[in-house]
């Protein structure tokens, strides 16, 4: 008999878990009063960038697995939805500022060969391709082939469409049925903090912009402290700020103007590109900075998946897999570093 699963939260974690459960035959409903991707998952940047290949730990290994799973995961979503997600594993370029940065990058190239198992590279190059290449004081850049990009709004909408096409239900209210997963973003972290004796997590605001510059197919860039991401629809996203204190979670201001200016200074091709959209939202950051997964620490018999922060889309394929394993098969493969009850 098919299992019933209720997912509270229609962001990338909630929808990805619902999709993974539906693929395994579960009857799934997703409940979110604000609708699909109303929070941080409705953003515009979508830089799926790996941690640097050194000082290896469970978090970095988990992220590597997820980034390597991403192509098949998002292809399956796009096929199920009949619409694009904007996913592309097109790599990332970063300028190297001085000789010390070059030496460190070469060292990381060696460690990437070992830690990434030959499935991606981290290399120092002297001639990256495309008009998004940032200025480099040394004339050298790092190019890695593990980084990918996605259009967050398109990806979450595609997840929702694919889930519905497979028989899932998405609604704004209703009773829980079967196993319950809480993937409720920064508000969910705040709710747990109220119950707990200390902070469980918080919201960190980010601001980003879309520019009218068509660089489809090029690598994303990290330069001037900002991410520069060329999307499949012919726009280029730049972001983002990191704001722990804020009054209005949805307002943009001069801090975003500074991000745009930094992107234009780093990449001359963006100097005259018009701004066509501005966005702000709040990302869920757990106290440990790692995702919180597994059994819910305050809701007996229920589950939690929260704290994606800046790496939610990159982590989503693996998060969906391990949570579906736990919910449907009672098979727990979640690393201790992510286990909710151990990281309060």
C-alpha dihedral sign at 315, 320, 321, 324: positive
Contact at 8 Å (CB) between 156 and 87?
no
Domains in the chain, please, with CATH?
4-88+147-198+287-342 (3.50.50.60)
pTM summary value = 0.96
Buried (b) or exposed (e) across 90-108, using 16+ Cβ within 10 A?
Answer: bbbbbbbeeeebbeebeeb
pLDDT tens track of the chain, all 344 residues? Answer: 678 999 999 999 999 999 999 999 999 999 999 999 999 999 999 999 999 999 999 989 999 999 999 999 999 999 999 999 999 999 999 999 999 999 999 999 999 999 999 999 999 999 899 999 999 999 999 999 999 999 999 999 999 999 999 999 999 999 999 999 999 999 999 999 999 989 999 999 999 999 999 999 999 999 999 999 999 999 999 999 999 999 999 999 999 999 999 999 999 999 999 999 999 999 999 998 899 999 999 999 999 999 999 999 999 999 999 999 999 999 999 999 999 988 78
Q: Which residue in this structure is represented by tokens 């059994």?
A: 295
């Amino acid at each position: 008999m098919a299992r019933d699963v209720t997912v509270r939260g229609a962001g990338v974690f909630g929808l990805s878990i619902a999709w993974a459960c539906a693929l395994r035959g579960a009857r799934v409903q997703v409940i979110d009063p604000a609708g699909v991707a109303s929070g941080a998952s409705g953003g515009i940047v979508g830089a799926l960038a790996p941690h640097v290949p050194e000082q290896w730990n469970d978090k970095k290994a988990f992220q590597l697995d997820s980034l390597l799973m991403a192509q098949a995961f998002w292809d399956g979503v796009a096929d199920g939805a009949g619409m694009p997600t904007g996913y592309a594993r097109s790599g990332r370029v970063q300028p190297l500022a001085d000789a010390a940065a070059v030496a460190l990058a070469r060292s990381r190239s060696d460690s990437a060969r070992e830690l990434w198992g030959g499935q991606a590279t981290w290399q120092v190059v002297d001639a990256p391709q495309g008009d998004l290449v940032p200025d480099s004081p040394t004339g050298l850049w790092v190019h890695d082939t593990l980084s990918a990009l996605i259009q967050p709004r398109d990806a979450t909408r595609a997840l929702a469409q694919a889930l519905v096409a497979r028989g899932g239900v998405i609604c704004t209210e209703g009773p829980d049925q079967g196993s319950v997963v809480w993937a409720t973003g920064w508000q969910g972290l705040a709710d747990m903090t109220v119950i707990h004796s200390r902070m469980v997590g918080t919201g960190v605001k980010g601001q980003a912009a879309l520019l009218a510059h068509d660089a489809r197919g090029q690598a994303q860039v990290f330069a001037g402290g900002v991410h520069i991401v060329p999307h499949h629809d012919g726009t280029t996203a730049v972001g983002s700020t990191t704001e722990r204190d804020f009054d209005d979670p949805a307002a943009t201001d001069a801090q975003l103007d500074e991000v745009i200016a930094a992107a234009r200074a780093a990449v001359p091709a963006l100097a005259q590109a018009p701004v066509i959209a501005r966005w702000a939202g709040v990302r869920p950051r757990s106290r440990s900075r790692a995702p919180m997964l597994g059994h819910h620490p305050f809701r007996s018999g229920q589950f939690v998946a929260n704290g994606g922060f800046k790496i939610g889309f990159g982590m989503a394929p693996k998060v969906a897999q391990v949570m579906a394993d736990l919910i449907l098969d009672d098979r727990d493969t979640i690393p201790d570093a992510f286990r909710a009850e151990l990281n309060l």
